Amino acid sequence: MASRIIILTFLFAFSISDISAQNKIDPNNITIARDEWGVPHIFAKTDNEVAYGFGWATCEDDIRTIQELFLPIRGLSGLVFGKDGAVADVGVHLLEADAIVEARYESDLSPDFRAYLESFCAGVNAYVKHHPKEVLHKKLFPVTGKDIIKGYVVGMTLMSGVNRDLGAIMSGKIKPYKKVENIAKIEAQGSNAFAISSKRTTTGETFLANNSHQPLEGPNSWYEAHLHSEEGLNILGGTFAGAPVIHLGTNENIGWAHTVNYPDFADVYQLTMHPVKEHHYLFDGKWEELQNFDTKARIKILGFLKVGAKQKFFKSKYGVTFKTDRGFFALRFPANRDIRAAEQWYRMNKAGNLEEFMAALEMQAIICTNIVYADREDHIFYISNGRLPKRDPNYNWQAVLPGDTSSTLWADDYYGLDYLPQVLDPSSGYVYNCNHTPFLSSGDTDNPKVSEIPATHGFQQPSSLTNRGVRFKALIEQYDKVSYDDFKTIKYDRSYHKPLKSAMKLEGIFHLAAEKYPNVAENIRILNNWDRNTNLESKGAPLFIMAYDYIRKNIKNRASLQTGDDLNETMLVKGIQAAQDYFVEHFGKKQVTLAELQRHSRGKVDLPVSGGPDVLAALATNKQEDGRLRARAGDSYIQLVRFSKEGLPKIESVNAYGASAKPNSPHYTDQMQMYVDQKLKPMTLDKQEILQNAKRTYHPK
């Protein structure tokens, strides 16, 4: 959201949720240990006590983000953040999370997990009771387990890309009977994950790289924590502030990583409307009436004046329906038809081996994402996970569908895991995904076969590549066996592949004739001779990054990067000219180094940072007023793991800024230098070692 000004702070107190009493949680039984980096390690006898401590510790580090996530769930964001917040409130309403959670909370979630959820909420509510000045709106608290689960329904919807179709419909950009497909493009917001079995490592260990690319700060940034109970919970990894479980990480026996995948998780329908009768649409030869699905966004102006803006939407048999200048369109997707995603992650957190992990995956409540897995038994596994409905193969599900027939109205009947692209213990000894096609996820003879996956799933085809995926494959194939240092070198690689297979038309920027374009001849020669490495000393890297920024904003179709005619030589030269002009305007010279252009900054810390869009050490940036680029996304939380048959896994990690989002904390910026230096901090799951070396231990009260 845009910058916000909070004018009024509410002071209040309320009783802690009764669930803490029901679960007999005594905060004195919970220990929070902060290591030298401020990372919270939560120790208690029971899972529920750990959850309580986790809620408290998360608030200590980032209570604001927790509130930013929950405000739109309660329809309160507009009252705090004005128009930007109201948009979020309306969007959440359209995703229908309220209805499914209210209907299924008691029936679909297990009693033990509901108790865990409410214990987490009790920890959050207890913190807020003792720190009322940090509250953004008095009606937000106490939060409940239902609030968290509604947040997961919304989160799953956004992660599965439904917002792209929703945005296209609401902006009037949807094209009748032609849905925009996923295309190859250079991106930094993606993720890397790879696992290497012991037969391909010099140490005989199994390696796992957990490297999700998210915004570096804000609601979707990674928060690192360690949860340890005497009931089988001992996991360290990344989550989002306000989530009660670890989303990606490592326990004593297994570890896993996530990357975003792109099958067809949402369907758009164009309704056939009655020529005279308003709001009636044709369905199986009969005229049906649309149901009203109004929403009222509340906006606060000047901190006290409340304004209600009513917006009208509809519901058809397909789902939420919109009236646009191009007609009536409906949106249907699996992500708001299951509420158990958080519980599935909880079961994954506690899985002790591949069999238990697969049992958790069988829930299919986590609607999307690739998963790369490794464990102490030397199993490595990849799956392009998804909950995909059984659709009529006679229709093109990649297009906007006819909304006048039950043939396109799929039911809650989904394909099982066996119908998803996956690889288990391949002969090549490695699995990987970098947001590219799932059909290139291991060695050449081990990849999933397109013919074995239902076409209606809409998975990216083998031609859908990222530079990160191409680059990883090229690097790993150079080694018969990989040392841990080699493993780190691959993960932190900063180069574009030669040739640029992920965007072949863009490859032409490296092969222009300098003599044809005297105004930019010097910079053309720099690109001709550039080693394609985005290190700090490079002058080719800033040229390429800024030229690409111009090109992607000025071509009509992103597909031109791979196959289109829109990206011709003239456009490539314009990109170089635009980059040169930018440098002259902001730096007073035609060339700059990447260190001058690209910065990692927060508070008083301002550091040069390497990397770029779609290199393995990925980075995306925002332009600042002084012309420099500030890191905003890409490499964020990184966790590298080594499993062996005996002992705890060896873990190293780093976060982009630090463990706390509060500016007055010493851990607000203390990992930044390590982050830009591509270094990692040692971490452990050993309780005794953590408590012995902790900088602070205390109870959440």
**Helical (H) or strand (E) element with 67:** helix 47-73
| Whether the Cβ atoms of residue 234 and residue 295 lie closer than 8 Å to each other | no
Which of 319, 344, 318 shows the shortest CA–CA distance to 417?
344
* Cα→Cα distances 471→366, 380, 447, 500, Å: 29, 20, 17, 10
The alpha carbon of 87 is separated from its chain's Cα centroid by a whole number of angstroms, namely: 21
| Per-residue pLDDT reduced to its tens digit, 352-388 | 999 999 999 999 999 999 999 999 999 999 999 999 9
Q: pLDDT (tens digit, 9 = 90+) per residue, 4-35?
A: 322 222 222 233 333 443 457 999 999 999 99
pLDDT at 1 over 70: no
Q: Is the pLDDT of residue 119 over 60?
A: yes
Higher pLDDT, 635 or 168: 635
Q: Which residues are paired to 638 by β-bridges?
A: 211, 654
Residue 51 has pLDDT above 80, yes or no: yes
Q: Does position 243 have pLDDT exceeding 50, yes or no?
A: yes
* Per-state percent for the chain, helix, strand, coil, to nearest 5: 35, 25, 45
The residue among 411, 414, 407, 408 whose CA lies nearest residue 389 is 414
Q: Which domains does the chain have, with CATH numbers?
A: 20-171 (1.10.439.10), 191-265+338-393+411-491 (3.60.20.10), 267-335 (2.30.120.10), 501-599 (no CATH)
* CA–CA gap between residue 594 and residue 536 (Å, rounded): 5
SS3 497: coil
d(Cα 128, Cα 121) in Å, to the nearest integer?
11
pLDDT of residue 536 exceeding 90, the answer is yes
Rounded CA separation 191/219 (Å): 17
Asked if the model's pLDDT at residue 273 lies above 70, the reply is yes
Please tell me the predicted confidence (pLDDT) of residue 18.
38
pLDDT at 189 (0 to 100): 60
Residue 344 is encoded by which pair of tokens? Answer: 């599935």
Rounded to a whole number of angstroms, the distance between the first and last alpha carbons of the chain is 33
Amino acid 696 reads R
User: What are residue 3's phi and psi, to 5 degrees?
Assistant: -60, 145
Burial of 535 (0-12, 13-18, 19+ CB in 10 A): middle
Residue with token string 């939380």: 637
pLDDT exceeds cutoff 60 at 42: yes
The torsion angles phi and psi of 60, rounded to 5 degrees, stand at -55, -35
pLDDT of res. 300 = 61
Q: Which residues contact 572 (CB under 8 A, 6 or more apart)?
A: 506, 508, 509, 512, 547, 551
| C-alpha triplet 473, 476, 477: angle, nearest 5° | 80
Could you say which DSSP state residue 639 is in? E
Q: Which residue has the higher pLDDT, 357 or 301?
A: 357
Distance CA 549, CA 563 (A): 18
Task: Show the tokens assigned to 36.
Answer: 């030298």
Q: Two tokens at 263?
A: 């099958």
Distances (CA, A) of 127 to 34, 141, 227, 457: 17, 11, 18, 44
Q: What is the C-alpha separation between 36 and 38, in angstroms, rounded?
A: 6
Structure tokens at 298: 């509340």
The closest alpha carbon to 402, from 392, 412, 411, belongs to 392
Cα 29 to Cα 417: distance, rounded to the nearest angstrom: 40
Two tokens, residue 304 = 């006290």
Residue 684 pLDDT > 60: yes
Distance of CA 355 to CAs 197, 327, 362, 647, Å?
A: 18, 49, 11, 20
Report d(CA 500, CA 469) in Å as an integer.
Answer: 11
Question: What is the per-residue pLDDT across 136-152, written as a single tens digit (0 to 9) for each?
Answer: 999 999 999 999 999 99
- Residue 82's region, left for phi above 0, alpha for psi from -120 to 50, else beta, is left
Asked whether residue 678 carries a pLDDT value surpassing 60, the answer given is: yes
pLDDT in tens, 593-647: 999 999 999 999 999 999 999 999 999 999 999 999 999 999 999 999 999 999 9
Express each pLDDT in 173-229 by its tens digit.
776 544 444 444 555 567 999 999 999 999 999 999 999 999 999 888 999 999 999
Helix (H/G/I), strand (E/B), else coil: 199: helix
- The proportion of the chain whose per-residue pLDDT surpasses 90, expressed as a percent, equals 83
| pLDDT tens-digit map of 329-341 | 999 999 999 999 9
